[in-house]
Amino acid sequence: MTSTPRADLGLIGGSGFYEFFEAAERVSVTTPFGDPSDDLVIGEVDGRRVAFIARHGQGHRFPPHRVNYRANLWALRSVGVRQVLAPCAVGSLKPELGPGTIVVPDQVVDRTWGREHTVYAAEGPVVHVGFADPYCPRGRAVALESGKAADKPVADGGTLVVVNGPRFSSKAESAWHQQAGWTIVGMTGMPEASIARELAMCFTTVALVTDHDAGVDGGAAVTHEEVLAVFAKNVDGLKQVLRSALGSMPAAEPDDTATCACRRALDGITLPFELPG
């Protein structure tokens, strides 16, 4: 019987990232939460074992509020992934952060609703996981250095506010987000990041600004077509940063001796079931 291929790094993104792999294997994974968005694609990227999943599935068939974030993260962990890079497209809430800028946020605000936000069921021991610092410090440092090495405009830190979508924000909502001091706005960053923490996985968001959000600096409302056009124009630069980051991530540590705080998030907690991988 052929064993399932393993990977220690995970990449969650659009279907355009399949080209990272010169040779790869598609792996179907079953999870307690149903099917992930798509099969995993596992192979080597610059000598590192990487598992990729298309967040929205083939043909972008799942809108942000219908993505099975629990199944996606569970599937990645089940093949050994412990460090995840999660690129996403965002709108900017700051005039100085224009389209094409890459932001590596250090905080998140969750304004989503109706999504499955935890892998732990209501029955059984209560599982409270710390989330004060939502992103992996090691992953963030590598992503920032990779951006600088690629000579791309990269912003260090900031708050990503995640809205439910699939619609864009009203001008009033955008003004509220700006007044709160938040930096960028997107639709897919939560509960992706918090579920990764529940699974004791390192998680780093790398956000590509595609537009200024409605009303920022007097700008007009954005359209879906404009977002796609700007993303297409800048995605090669984002891929360059991500590929470099994958190659520069620290070596994977065994679960029982891992030193990153993300990997120790479940220490001392009684879990209702055993985690995969």
Catalytic annotation, residues: 211, 213
Distant-in-sequence, close-in-space partners of 86: CB < 8 Å, separation ≥ 6: 11, 12, 13, 55, 189, 192, 193, 203, 204, 205, 206
Beta carbons within 10 angstroms of residue 198's beta carbon? 24
Give the residue ranges of DSSP H helices in 34-124: 69-78
Q: By the 8 A CB rule, do 208 and 234 touch?
A: yes
Q: How far out from the chain centre does Cα 145 lie? A: 18
CA-to-CA distance for 31 and 229, rounded, in angstroms?
Answer: 35
Q: Could you check whether the bond before residue 276 is cis, i.e. omega within 30 degrees of 0?
A: no
Q: How far is CA 85 from CA 114, 174, 214, 235, 246, in A?
A: 25, 27, 28, 15, 8
